[in-house]
Structure 1
Amino acid sequence: MAHIVVLGAGLGGSIMAYELADEIGKGDTITVVTKDPTYHFVPSNPWVAVGWRERDDITIDLAPTMKKKGIKFVTTAAQKLHPEENRLELIDGSSISYDYIVIATGPELAFDEIEGLGPHGGFTQSVCHIDHALQAKVVFEELKKNPGPVIIGAVQGASCYGPAYEFCFILETALRKAKIRDQVPITFVTSEPYVGHLGLDGVGDTKGLLESEMRNKHIKWMTSTKVKKVEDGKMTVEEINDDGSSKGEKVLPFAFSMMLPAFRGIKPVSGIEGLSNPRGFTIVDQHQQNPKFKNIFAVGVCVAIPPMGPTPVPCGVPKTGFMIESMVTATAHNIGQMLRGEEPSNVGTWNAVCLADFGDSGIAFVAQPQIPPRNVNWSSQGRWVHLAKIGFEKYFMRKIKKGTSEPFYEKMGMSMLGINKLKAVKKG
């Protein structure tokens, strides 16, 4: 009889619990620990920020589904993990003992690393959380009343670039629909060495596709750029040359800005020797297992992955939905093996599949594996991506609500490649 704790109930944690429920034996138990009792579909946050979705459209109360699956659901935040004691301390002073624990917390958002950044006392907006997106919506409504310059992008050390591009183009579409696009100059500011790098050194022709889309939509861009500080209505940035030297600083005015921050691990699992790296991300091997504490696994954005290579401004590697899903499946099977007295042998595929919605079109890409060189390196664009993103949102929400463990990202990736082959046949 084993007790397995899943810390976190976002994309990785919720499906982690569902897949574990299919692996455990009679008498084994699962407890999910989370500070937020509701699941919200993060990929829809850019739509929320321009008023195309409301909170209730993309949130699910997890308690009924967890109960149906026989999973204990604790909605109290973690205080500190004590791996030597196999104990998770909660902020209310209580503790939960475990035989195995899966860390699936997602990241802490490092707004504080740049003066004036972020929605918590800063001057920029975010789409990393539903609460942030709703606050951004309020500021966006003010922008429509008083149009002015807009800055969208991702700061140095960020490891999630897709939502920045998505929001930039979604905002541009929303401004056109409001018939004020001509009054709103848009600048995309990013730490990436080139547009479409995405922390992945590009996928297919993401560089060409995104640059072309920006030119068509009259969006200016600045790459290899650090954000030095943000003040009310102005952002100080520094462009960096390929050799690391400075091109100089600029002060950019804005009426609205959304900048994605760098990530780090959450405090309850940070600063533990052998478990976390200096940024607080959890160290795992190819089996998603921590090398020092063999009964600790981790999945999702909280996992430590080294950057792809040196860039003039630091860029992290994203953990996409497909990658997270493959981590989850491997972890569930590996814990199942250990419960049966076997050695873990499952390895995640770590592929990337992405639908980047632009409001009325979009770009899709498949990278297998996520880190080059790749067996598949494909990207495409069109209105079909926008429609596919809507369908994906509805399907995934249904999956979370029903508590199914069906792997969807892989099917989606294969479907997109099938569409591409069909197009190629028709052209031929």
Structure 2
Amino acid sequence: MAEIVVLGAGLGGTLMAFELLPQMRKEDRLTLIGQGRNYHFVPSNPWVAVGWRGRRDIEIDLAPVMARKKIRLLDQGAKRVDPAANRIELADGSSVSYDYLVIATGPDLAFDEIPGFGPEGFTQSICHVDHAERAHTAFETFCKNPGPIVVGAVQGASCYGPAYEFALILDTELRKRKIRDRVPMTYVTAEPYVGHLGLDGVGDTKGLLESEFRDRHIKWITNAKLSAAEAEILHVEELAEDGSLKKTHDLPYKYAMMLPAFRGVAALRGVEKLVNPRGFVLIDEHQRNPHFRNVFAIGVCVAIPPTGPTPVPVGVPKTGFMIESMVTATAENIGALLRGREPTARATWNAICLADFGDGGVAFVAKPQIPPRNTNWAAKGAWVHLAKVGFEKYFLRKIRGGTSEPFYERFLMKQLNLHKLKENA
């Protein structure tokens, strides 16, 4: 009998639990450890922040789902991982031992690295449904007395799509409320150019997103570092290509949402040979830690080097499609180990994404995600918004049903193929 533990019950961890089950033997036991028992569909958080969705629309109680699948769910969260002892200390003082561990914790949000930054400071966030609900409350207050808006992502961030989505969803909602003419908007980002996305662009994302910003009267500042946030003013440093200070900006705002940098969660940070200095898990080509050979990692918690040097630190995103490929490879590799074989499966690390703008959007395909690529394509249109709405419903239905099929690939490729058929008609 093998004790298999998945640490983290978000997108990656939930899918990981489902895909491990077919790989396990009858005598093996699977445990899923989460922070609470509810799953939230994070890609819908921008919609929550403008009131297009509520918490209940994107929330699933995992307890009955996991009970049906005969997966033990522990919802108290982890305090510390001890890979040398094959043990996880939980937040309530108890512990869980394992034979195989899959780390799928997602990130810790590093708001504290910038004075005044984040939901406990002066700016909003859409990284968690709790943050998105607070952002919605602040947005409703803002609409009664509108003014400048700043949206973007700070130095070290590695998730840029939601920032673009939120800026353009805000634009759509403000036009619906007929107050867009009273709201100057600025996009501020660590990226070296609009549409970089932490991927050095995909297709013509630079041209597509710059055009979108121009059409919607959104100004932008790139190569930007947020030095501090105060009430109604952001202090931003704009760097030159050589990393020297080019210009400082004191940006007034009535509403600001900036995505933070990520780091490894506290339960992992500082564990020697498991994580890098930032707390991200070190893995080989099989998603396996090079030192602790019974430990695997998938998703945002994985250490990936940047695509290249930039004046301001820019991380690489781990998209849902990419995470799904990590999940599948890891499940197959643990299945092999359970049967006395060595791991051979590798994740594809491709990116297929739908970025919603409220009344349109941009879709892109990067195979592989990190250049050079075999496929490098992007397109925009109203169909992207409709596809993203459809995917939300599709994804939540599959989670409730406890499916293990690769539904990111199935659904997104279907949408892209339908779009290409319409283009060629």
Mapped to 2, the partners of 1:298 and 1:230 lie a distance apart of 34
- Structure 2 residue runs of 5 or longer lacking an equivalent are none
Q: Secondary structure at the match of 2:400?
A: helix
For residues 340-368 of structure 1, the C-alpha deviation after alignment (integer angstroms, 9 at most, x for no partner) is: 00000000000001100000110000100
For residues 242-300 of structure 1, the C-alpha deviation after alignment (integer angstroms, 9 at most, x for no partner) is: 01111121100000000000000001111111100000000001100000000000000
Q: Secondary structure at the match of 1:267?
A: coil
Check the 8 A contact 1:234/1:252 in 2, yes or no. Answer: yes
- Structure 1 residue runs of 5 or longer lacking an equivalent are none
Which aligned pairs between 1:86-97 and structure 2 lie closer than 5 A? Answer: 86-97=86-97
Mapped to 2, the partners of 1:212 and 1:349 lie a distance apart of 31
- 2:209 is matched with which residue? 210
RMSD: 0.9
| Alignment of 1:309 onto 2:343 | no
Q: Please say which of residues 154-163 and 373-382 is displaced more in the overlay.
A: 373-382
- 1:131 is matched with which residue? 130
Whichever residue aligns with residue 103 of structure 1, its letter is I
Whichever residue aligns with residue 328 of structure 1, its letter is V
Q: Secondary structure at the match of 2:122?
A: coil
Mapped to 1, the partners of 2:234 and 2:310 lie a distance apart of 22
Which aligned pairs between 1:377-388 and structure 2 lie closer than 5 A? Answer: 377-388=376-387
- 2:328 is matched with which residue? 329
Q: Please say which of residues 153-162 and 405-414 is displaced more in the overlay.
A: 405-414
Whichever residue aligns with residue 302 of structure 2, its letter is V
- 1:54 is matched with which residue? 54
Mapped to 1, the partners of 2:215 and 2:423 lie a distance apart of 25
| Alignment of 1:18 onto 2:18 | yes
Check the 8 A contact 2:387/2:415 in 1, yes or no. Answer: no
User: Percent identity between the aligned chains?
Assistant: 66
- 2:299 is matched with which residue? 300
Whichever residue aligns with residue 140 of structure 1, its letter is F
TM-score scaled by length of structure 2 = 0.99
- 2:143 is matched with which residue? 144
Q: Secondary structure at the match of 2:267?
A: helix
Q: Secondary structure at the match of 1:137?
A: helix
1:416, CA displacement in angstroms?
A: 4.3
Whichever residue aligns with residue 162 of structure 1, its letter is G
Q: Secondary structure at the match of 2:220?
A: strand
- 2:285 is matched with which residue? 286
For residues 109-135 of structure 1, the C-alpha deviation after alignment (integer angstroms, 9 at most, x for no partner) is: 000011111002x10000000000000
Mapped to 2, the partners of 1:8 and 1:106 lie a distance apart of 7
- 1:184 is matched with which residue? 183
- 1:71 is matched with which residue? 71
Which aligned pairs between 1:26-425 and structure 2 lie closer than 5 A? Answer: 26-120=26-120, 122-425=121-424
- Which contiguous aligned blocks of 4+ residues in structure 1 show a shift greater than 4 angstroms? none
1:282–1:319 Cα change, 3 Å: same
TM-score scaled by length of structure 1 = 0.98
Q: Secondary structure at the match of 1:169?
A: helix
For residues 35-64 of structure 1, the C-alpha deviation after alignment (integer angstroms, 9 at most, x for no partner) is: 121000000000000000000000000000
Check the 8 A contact 1:45/1:130 in 2, yes or no. Answer: yes
Whichever residue aligns with residue 159 of structure 1, its letter is S
